[in-house]
Amino acid sequence: MRIDVLIACLAAIAVLVWIYRRDKNRLERERALLFEDVRGLLNEAEISRAAGEYPKLRGRYRGYDVSIDAVVDNIAVRKLPSLWLRATVLADIPYRGACDAMARAHNVEIFSPAGDMDHVLKLPVGWPDHLTVKSDDPEAMPPEARLTPHIGLFNDPWIKELLVTPRGVRVVRQAAQGSRAEYMVLRQAMFGAIKVPRDQLESMLDAAVALADDLRKPAAPHSNGAAA
């Protein structure tokens, strides 16, 4: 091989390596910023993060252990990738059946356990038409009367899911949508430097805590333990 060709090849490889490292470092910096603006919201807060991933935030909020994380979703066909923010309030919920209310469900929501729930329920009166309600045990899930006062959460069009299990309550919201150019050309889910607004996360946690508080109250006499 001619020496000039070899030098050109080595230079090209060096440039590609430099670009890869630059982009990787930028991605790491951007993802590390996710919870930058919510410092002080949780007590006993701890942040952990694996390389290349979004951080996870844990702590105490209004007397509950809570966990907040973000999930990249690029599974759905013909849709831009989404970044889903999940706020989970950990609590002993006195109903052994789980219930999931999902807005505009596509049955490919990798961030949700709804796909493992076998029962699709009739939409309760007054609940938004775009919701799909599922359960793993409809006879043992929280009663409709206890869930309905909290369904106004879906008045926010960015709220995707409300999940209740025996272990707690979770609210899921779309935090960002991927760059069209990056996805169409490179098939990469790129969101830029996303920072979760403090009031947004606080609202999600307040909604989850309010529902957990209600579900942990003693049941009214003669209440029906199953949803309609």
CA 193 to chain centre: 17
Burial of residue 149 (number of CB atoms within 10 Å: 0-12, 13-18, 19+): exposed
**How is 177-200 classified by DSSP, letter by letter?**
E--HHHHHHH------S----HHH
Average pLDDT over residues 187-193: 64
Residue with the larger pLDDT of the pair 32 and 29: 32
User: Cα–Cα distance between 172 and 181 in angstroms, integer?
Assistant: 26
- List pLDDT tens digits, range 48-106: 988 778 899 999 999 999 999 999 887 655 567 889 999 999 999 999 999 999 999 98
Instruction: Write out the two tokens for 126.
Output: 């007054």
Q: Residue type at 55?
A: P
**96 in Cβ contact with 63 (< 8 Å):** no
Please tell me the pTM assigned to this model. 0.81
User: Cα–Cα distance between 40 and 56 in angstroms, integer?
Assistant: 15
Query: Cα-flanking dihedrals φ and ψ of residue 209, to 5°?
Result: -65, -45
Query: Cα-flanking dihedrals φ and ψ of residue 11, to 5°?
Result: -65, -40
Q: Which residues pair with 140 in a beta bridge?
A: none
For the chain, the average pLDDT equals 85
Average pLDDT over residues 5-30: 62
pLDDT band at 177 (very low <50, low <70, confident <90, very high): confident
